[in-house]
Amino acid sequence: MAESFVDSFKTELIADRPWRTRSQLELAIVAWVGWYNHQRLHSSLDDMPPVEFEAARIHDYAMTGTV
């Protein structure tokens, strides 16, 4: 999964874009990581964003004691 993340990061954010300043790139990275964790639907997580999937698992564990 780490390789997939790095490949997505490079393809979607870094490649073929000119960055004028380091600050501009840093802000773009923060925004992209926020989107990646909070809005992106992930097919291996039942088409849920990672944050929602984790919250559901935590809720399930709190209610049943199992994941």
Say whether pLDDT at 1 is over 70.
Answer: no
CA distances (Å), 28 to each of 4, 25, 46, 55, 57, in order? Answer: 19, 5, 27, 26, 30
Closest CA to 35 of 7, 14, 12: 12
Give the model confidence (pLDDT) of 21-67 as tens digits: 999 999 999 999 999 889 999 888 999 999 999 999 999 999 998 76
Helix (H, G, I), strand (E, B) or coil at 41: coil
Task: Return the H-helix or E-strand segment holding 29.
Answer: helix 22-38
By the 10 Å C-beta count (0-12 exposed, 13-18 middle, 19+ buried), 25 is classed as: middle
Say whether pLDDT at 5 is over 80.
Answer: yes
